[in-house]
Homo-oligomer: A and B are copies of this chain.
Amino acid sequence: MSDLPGQISVREVGPRDGLQNEDPVPTDAKIELINRLSATGVGRIEAVSFVRPEAIPQMADAAEVWQRISKAPSVRYSALVPNLRGAGRALDSGLTEIEAVVSASDTHNRKNVNRGTEESLDDIAVIIDQAHQRGATCQVIVSTAWGCPYEGDVPVSRVVRVAGRAVADGADSISFGDTTGMATPRRVRELVGEFRLAYSGVPLNLHFHNTRGTGLANVLTALELGVADFDASVGGLGGCPYAPGATGNIATEELVYMVEDMGVATGIDLAAMIDAAADAEQIIGRQLPSQVLRAGPRTRTIPA
Rounded to whole Å, the gap between the CB of A286 and the closest CB of chain B is 13
Asked if A74 lies at the interface with its beta carbon under 8 angstroms from chain B, I say no
Q: B291–A184 contact, CB under 8 A? A: no
Rounded to whole Å, the gap between the CB of A74 and the closest CB of chain B is 26
User: Given the known A-B contacts A258-B185, A261-B184, are A295 and B107 also in contact in the complex, defined by CB atoms under 8 Å?
Assistant: no
Q: B213–A254 contact, CB under 8 A? A: yes
Q: A149–B302 contact, CB under 8 A? A: yes
Q: Which residue of B lies closest to A236 (CB)?
A: B213
- Give 1 or 0 for each of A110-137: 1 = CB within 8 Å of chain B CB: 0100000000000000000000000000
Asked if A246 lies at the interface with its beta carbon under 8 angstroms from chain B, I say yes
Task: Determine which of B186, B210, B240, B298 lies in contact with A263 in the assembled complex, contact meaning CB atoms within 8 Å.
Answer: B186
Rounded to whole Å, the gap between the CB of A262 and the closest CB of chain B is 5
Q: Which residue of B lies closest to A244 (CB)?
A: B294
- Give 1 or 0 for each of A180-214: 1 = CB within 8 Å of chain B CB: 11101111010000000000000000000011111
User: Given the known A-B contacts A151-B301, A186-B262, are A290 and B213 also in contact in the complex, defined by CB atoms under 8 Å?
Assistant: yes
Q: B301–A212 contact, CB under 8 A? A: no
Asked if A160 lies at the interface with its beta carbon under 8 angstroms from chain B, I say no
Q: B246–A291 contact, CB under 8 A? A: yes
Docked complex Cα distance between A297 and B111 (Å): 22
**Which DSSP category, helix, strand, loop or mixed, fits chain A's interface?**
loop
Q: A298–B184 contact, CB under 8 A? A: yes
Question: Contacts of A299 on B, CB cut-off 8 Å?
Answer: 152-153
Interface-facing stretch out of A15-23, A60-68, A215-223: A215-223
Q: Which residue of B lies closest to A219 (CB)?
A: B217
Q: B301–A213 contact, CB under 8 A? A: no
Asked if A285 lies at the interface with its beta carbon under 8 angstroms from chain B, I say no
User: Given the known A-B contacts A261-B184, A299-B152, are A212 and B292 also in contact in the complex, defined by CB atoms under 8 Å?
Assistant: yes
Q: A258–B298 contact, CB under 8 A? A: no
Q: Which residue of B lies closest to A255 (CB)?
A: B213
Q: B295–A262 contact, CB under 8 A? A: no
The 4 tightest CB contacts between A and B, nearest first, are: A213-B254, A213-B291, A150-B304, A182-B298
Q: A243–B296 contact, CB under 8 A? A: yes
- Give 1 or 0 for each of A239-260: 1 = CB within 8 Å of chain B CB: 0101101110001001001100
Enumerate A260-304 residues with CB–CB distance to B below 8 Å.
261-263, 287, 290-292, 294-299, 301-304
New A-B pairs, 12, CB < 8 Å, besides A211-B291, A220-B221: A107-B304, A148-B301, A150-B301, A150-B303, A150-B304, A152-B299, A184-B262, A185-B220, A187-B261, A213-B254, A243-B295, A247-B295
